[in-house]
Amino acid sequence: MSKRIDKSWLVFVSVENPEHDRCVDFFSRPDGSYGFEEFRRDVEDGGQWTPVQYYSGVSYASPAKVLETAERCVPWLADILRQQPDLKTRIL
């Protein structure tokens, strides 16, 4: 688990790109808000997931809002969700 994902937050969906070197985690917080974070995994990092942006600092009121923002901010995400609509259903 990343340093940017607090242990009290529940990651309910993690979406990886086809190369398995990028992912987006969607999570909920104990206060009822939602968020997401994008990660990368590189050989020089020992294969660990490393945060790419600072998206996790923003709170969203609903899964729909967090999904809308994530699709707009993470270029490869919308293609994956079109190819695997079950992932989108799990987020919403």
Query: In the chain, where are the structural domains located?
Result: 10-87
Give the integer Cα–Cα distance in Å for 66 and 63.
5
Which of the residues in the chain have pLDDT under 50?
A: 1
Give the integer Cα–Cα distance in Å for 22 and 40.
4
What six digits make up the tokens of 68? 């809308």
- pTM beyond 0.85: yes
| Strands, sheet with 10-16, edge to edge from the N-terminal-most edge strand | 10-16, 22-28, 34-41, 49-51
- Please give the pLDDT value at position 1: 45
**How far is it between the farthest Cα atoms of the chain?**
36
Which residue in 53, 47, 48, 5 sits closest to 25, CA to CA?
A: 5
Mean pLDDT for all residues in the chain: 92
- Please give the pLDDT value at position 35: 97
